[in-house]
Every structure is written in structure tokens, then in C-alpha cells.
Chains A and B, each alone.
Chain A
Amino acid sequence: MQKILVVEDNETLREELKILLENAGYEVALVRDFSNVGKQMADAGSDLVLLDINLPGTNGEVLLQDFRKEKDTPVIMLTSRTGKMDEVLSMSFGADDYIMKPYNPTILLLRISAVLKRGLRKEQTRHYHDVEVSLTKGSLTRGDKEQILTKNEMIIFELLLEQQGEIVSRDELMTTLWDNDEFLNDNALSVNISRLRGKLADLGIEDGIETRKKQGYVLK
């Protein structure tokens, strides 16, 4: 399990972040004592740090600068400042990404997984049961049958595949699609899902995508 260190001085926000991240399957460590944050960051041994910019007695940019001298653990800055200058500054101090409060939780999770995945090389072909999924060609192949997916269908399928066996909410699907500049509405999402079902059925996989009422979809 990947471990995330949260450095945020507001207690309510910190605890909610913890719930959010734990629900998403991460191990979470919190900084509660702000007298020696730098040392706690260095000793935590986490895979990623969420770092607030405004902290009591110090600030995130300075901490980040010191932290970078020792470690290259990915860092995402959290802040309520709206100036883009902060972004430029944080990036130059070595932050991997930057999110403004009040952040959209789904986007926050997307960014975290993107930053964590960055180091790992993305495989261009994956497997779903005995189906070969080619991300570059945008196709599903099973035996001698091949189905070409549209960009939208591929985004949906990829997300479902990453969390195979778990419920993926419509909200998560929508956020991911929109994050890829595909501005679908609810109807269009349903249409895309049913087309994807049709294509899976053509490959001989019936009921690959199961609907969980009011929760989302599960890829079996």
C-alpha cells in the first residue's frame, strides 16, 4: 500500500483528507505537531507528500526547498492562494503538482495517482481476462475478433480496468472524461457505457460491465 503524508494545519480538513485517502486505498500519515515539520517529512518514509503552503510558524515553500535537498519523494502543494505566481514558485522549488483549495476531491485523487504513476512506465498493452487491450491502437482483441474503441470509450474502459472488481462512480467517470477534455453529459455517458457493453458482447463477453444502482459501475 502506498503511503501519503498529509501536512495541513487545519484539523477538520486534515481528518477529512485522511478519510478520503484511506477510502481510496492509501495508507495515510498525518503531521499534527508543527514545531518540526521538516524532520517529520524527512523521516516519514512516505511515497507522496501533500503539503499546505500556509502553515503555522513556517511555510510550505521553505519546507519544500529544504525537503528537496534530501529527498525526491513526489510533493503536491495544497493552497488557498489564487495567484498563479505561487504555482510558478512552487514548481521552481520542486513540487510535482499544485492544487487550489477548495479542491475537487476526485481531481485531487486523480492528480495523486497521476503523480504516483509518473515514475512507472505506462504499459501500452494490458489484459482483461483473455482480451488484449491496446492503448495506442485503442482496440480490444480477443482471438481473431477485434473491436475499435472511441476515445471516450477507451477512457471509460481504462478507468474501469484499473479498478477492476471495484465500484467506479459515475462522478469519477465524468471527472476523468472531462479532465481529458471530453465534455460529456449524463446521457452521453450512458450511451457510451451501453456502446462499450455492446462491443464487449461482440467479443463474446456478456455482462462485463455491471450497473450498481446509484453507485456506479463494476467491471467484472
Chain B
Amino acid sequence: MTFRNYVKDYMGMGIINGVILIMILIFLRAFRVEESAVFVVIALYVAAVMLSLLWDYFRKKKFFDHLLVSLEELDKKYLVSEMIATPGFYEGDILTEVLAECDKSMAEQVADYRRQNQMFREYIETWVHEAKIPIASLRLMCHNHPDLDAKMISQLKLLDDNINNVLFYARSENAQKDYLIKEISLKKVFHEVAMNNRVIFQLMGASIDAKNLDISVLTDEKWLEFMMGQIIANSVKYCDANRKLELSVWGEEASDKVLLHIHDNGIGIPASDLPRVFEKTFTGENGRKGAASTGMGLYIVKNLCDKLGHGIHILSKEGKYTEVVLTFFKNDFYKMKH
């Protein structure tokens, strides 16, 4: 709040005071009042106006400066109404009241959306579990009628995977409530993922090379399984049509961390797309060219890695390979507790 802008704002009042002062002068002249008395009256009048302006300026300045500084410092601007000082003047009181009212109404609105969101999320979870029942039945039917094509099973598998993605996305937003961090063997997790994808690998004639996975890491088992599943689903999706998929998975142990490499001989990722693959809904060159892509898979994986404290990076050469490396840091604190 600057004095200049404040005075500018009170220009109207200044003009009215000026006009009245001139009228007083005319009046005093008409009564032939002495020059020195006129001077005193003018001086007193001007002083009165200036003093009242200054007094008003400083009490408002104190309030508004505090308000602006609070606003500046706050991370969540809408909380400013909680920080507001007692204004002690009428306009300030109105402003405070209005802000408080807005705040309350917004809080109600947000709570409402949060509730709706929560209900929707719960509905999605229930829905996913419901949807799994017919899928389970279909799988059994496929098995009980061996004349049905293995392609049908692989389509069912895709359907099941897609449904799982919805579930995991709905959960990943507040994954912290859904953690169970313990020591997990990479071998066990890869085993699950491989078994899940066996039919598709077999149909593709893929070869799998799993080495050195007898390492334990600290993580949440089902989230890691999901992440590896996503990464391998990408290898399946973006494999090169001219050669059979070769997937290598290996662990590497360093003093303070464990690295998990997942390497395929697929179409790779163009160098220009590489920095952006973790962005939400980014589909890139490959997404446009071939397989349907939502751009969500790696985004969720990255998101989960951040929440679980794992590192992830991708190496790739277009037309040659893609390698995803997950980094698990060793944390003595967790170990001591178990």
C-alpha cells in the first residue's frame, strides 16, 4: 500500500474539501476578516484534512500490508482468511467477513467434491472386483473347452490387465494408505509377473532370460508386481514385428542400492520422446504409430516409484532396445525394525 495510490483514491474527498475551503475563503473575505486570521483558518483546515488522511492511511496500511505479506508467504493462498488480523475499521471488517464466508463456502464445496471422488473411487474398486468374476468364469470355460483358441485366453488376459490398471490407478493416488513395506525377493515378484504373462509370451514366441534375481529389496509386493507388469506389458506392446521378443531381467547389487534391469529388443523410444515418457497422457511417436496407448502406464509407475522412494530411469535406442532400470535403496532404518 503506497501513500500516492492512497491519496489518488481520495481525490474526490480532496476536491470537495478544496471547494469548501474556497467557499470559506470567499465567506471570510466577505466579512473582511484579517489576513492573519484567514491564514490561521486555512492552515488549521489543511492540517486537519492532512492529519485525518495520514491517520486513516496508517491504520489501513498496517492491516493491508499484513494481509499482503501473509498472502505472499502462504503456500495455499485460500488459507489467508485464517491469518487475517483484526482490522479495527469498517471496510476491513466487511472484507474479513466476506473472506471468511468465501472460505467456508469453498471448504464445503471442496469437501463435497472430495466425498464424490471418494465414492467414485470406492465404486470403481467394487466394480473391478465384480468384473473379475465373469472374467474368472470365462477363463475356466476356455480351459474346460480346450478346442477354444489360446488367442481367446490372451484377449481375456488383456481385458483383465486393463481392468487391473483402473484399479491400480484409482489406488495409486492415495497409495500411502495401501503400503506394506517388507523385504521381498525380486525372484518371487518376477515369478508372479512371468506367470501372469506366460500365455502371451508363448504366443509371441518370446524368450525370457532371468538372471541374478535372488536379491531381497524393501518394497510393497503388489505395487512392485504391478510396476513390473506395466513395464513388461510395454515390452510386449512395443516389440519389433520383424523379430521375436527377447526379454532379459537381471538384478544388480551395490553397497547402498539394488538395481533391477528389464531389457527388451523392441522398437525403442525416439531420443526426443525419452525425457517425456513419464508425463501424464504422453503417448509420443510410438503411441501414434502403433498400438493403442493411453500414456498412463509409465506415469503411474513413476508416481508409485516416487511414493515408494524407488528410482526409475529408461535407456533406449530407437529400433534397438529399451531398458528400464528400477533402483531400490537400502534403508537400514526399516531393516532394524523387522
- List the interface of chain A (C-beta within 8 A of B): 10, 12-13, 16-17, 19-20, 23, 54, 80-85, 88, 101-107, 169, 171, 174-175, 178-179, 181, 183, 185-188, 215
CA distance A169 to B143 in the complex (A): 11
Q: Out of B129, B134, B167, B198, which one reaches A12, CB within 8 Å? A: B134
Q: When the two chains form their complex, are residues B144 and A23 in contact, meaning their CB atoms are under 8 A apart?
A: yes
The interface residues of chain B lying within 8 Å CB-to-CB of A105 are: 139-140, 143-144
Q: Out of A16, A80, A82, A102, which one reaches B144, CB within 8 Å? A: A16
17 additional A-B residue pairs with CB within 8 Å, beyond A101-B132, A186-B205? A12-B137, A16-B141, A23-B144, A80-B129, A82-B164, A83-B178, A83-B222, A101-B136, A102-B138, A103-B139, A104-B198, A107-B195, A178-B195, A183-B209, A185-B207, A185-B208, A187-B205
Chain B residue with Cβ nearest A170 = B202
Q: When the two chains form their complex, are residues A85 and B180 in contact, meaning their CB atoms are under 8 A apart?
A: yes
Interchain nearest-CB distance for A116 vs B (Å)? 19
Q: Out of A19, A54, A174, which one reaches B202, CB within 8 Å? A: A174
Give residues of chain B (170-190) contacting chain A, Cβ–Cβ below 8 Å.
178, 180, 187
Chain A residue with Cβ nearest B150 = A171
Contacts A10-B133, A178-B198, A183-B194; is A84 near B221 (CB within 8 Å)?
A: yes
CA distance A54 to B143 in the complex (A): 24
CA distance A171 to B191 in the complex (A): 17
Give residues of chain B (115-144) contacting chain A, Cβ–Cβ below 8 Å.
128-129, 132-141, 143-144
Number of interface residues of B (CB under 8 A): 38
Q: Which of A169, A171, A188 has the most CB of B within 10 A?
A: A171
CA distance A107 to B140 in the complex (A): 12
Q: Out of B138, B139, B144, B150, which one reaches A104, CB within 8 Å? A: B139
Q: When the two chains form their complex, are residues B206 and A185 in contact, meaning their CB atoms are under 8 A apart?
A: yes
Q: When the two chains form their complex, are residues B137 and A80 in contact, meaning their CB atoms are under 8 A apart?
A: no
CA distance A23 to B141 in the complex (A): 12
Q: Out of A102, A104, A188, which one reaches B195, CB within 8 Å? A: A104
Q: B interface, by DSSP: helix, strand, loop or mixed?
A: helix
Q: A interface, by DSSP: helix, strand, loop or mixed?
A: helix
Give residues of chain B (203-235) contacting chain A, Cβ–Cβ below 8 Å.
205-210, 220-222
- List the interface of chain B (C-beta within 8 A of A): 128-129, 132-141, 143-144, 146, 150, 156, 160, 164, 167, 178, 180, 187, 191, 194-195, 198, 201-202, 205-210, 220-222
The interface residues of chain B lying within 8 Å CB-to-CB of A84 are: 180, 220-222
The interface residues of chain A lying within 8 Å CB-to-CB of B187 are: 181
CA distance A215 to B24 in the complex (A): 117
Q: When the two chains form their complex, are residues A102 and B132 in contact, meaning their CB atoms are under 8 A apart?
A: yes
Q: When the two chains form their complex, are residues B136 and A80 in contact, meaning their CB atoms are under 8 A apart?
A: yes
Interchain nearest-CB distance for A64 vs B (Å)? 19
Q: When the two chains form their complex, are residues B195 and A16 in contact, meaning their CB atoms are under 8 A apart?
A: no
The interface residues of chain B lying within 8 Å CB-to-CB of A178 are: 194-195, 198
Q: When the two chains form their complex, are residues A169 and B146 in contact, meaning their CB atoms are under 8 A apart?
A: yes
CA distance A196 to B174 in the complex (A): 52
Q: When the two chains form their complex, are residues A17 and B140 in contact, meaning their CB atoms are under 8 A apart?
A: yes
The interface residues of chain A lying within 8 Å CB-to-CB of B136 are: 13, 80, 101-103
Q: Out of A82, A103, A215, which one reaches B222, CB within 8 Å? A: A82
Q: When the two chains form their complex, are residues A10 and B137 in contact, meaning their CB atoms are under 8 A apart?
A: yes
CA distance A139 to B127 in the complex (A): 51
CA distance A103 to B140 in the complex (A): 8
CA distance A105 to B208 in the complex (A): 22
CA distance A186 to B203 in the complex (A): 9
CA distance A13 to B129 in the complex (A): 14
18 A-B pairs with CB atoms under 8 Å apart are A10-B133, A12-B137, A20-B140, A23-B144, A80-B132, A83-B178, A83-B222, A84-B180, A101-B132, A102-B160, A104-B195, A105-B144, A107-B195, A179-B191, A181-B187, A185-B201, A185-B202, A185-B208
The interface residues of chain A lying within 8 Å CB-to-CB of B198 are: 104, 174-175, 178
Interchain nearest-CB distance for B335 vs A (Å)? 20
Interchain nearest-CB distance for B85 vs A (Å)? 49
Q: When the two chains form their complex, are residues A183 and B180 in contact, meaning their CB atoms are under 8 A apart?
A: no
Chain A residue with Cβ nearest B226 = A82
CA distance A103 to B178 in the complex (A): 23
Closest 7 interchain pairs by CB? A16-B140, A183-B208, A102-B136, A105-B143, A80-B132, A101-B136, A102-B135
Q: When the two chains form their complex, are residues A101 and B195 in contact, meaning their CB atoms are under 8 A apart?
A: no
The interface residues of chain B lying within 8 Å CB-to-CB of A12 are: 134, 137
Interchain nearest-CB distance for B158 vs A (Å)? 12
The interface residues of chain A lying within 8 Å CB-to-CB of B160 are: 102
Chain A residue with Cβ nearest B208 = A183
CA distance A131 to B336 in the complex (A): 53
Q: When the two chains form their complex, are residues A102 and B139 in contact, meaning their CB atoms are under 8 A apart?
A: yes
The interface residues of chain B lying within 8 Å CB-to-CB of A103 are: 136, 139
Chain A residue with Cβ nearest B146 = A169
The interface residues of chain B lying within 8 Å CB-to-CB of A174 are: 198, 202
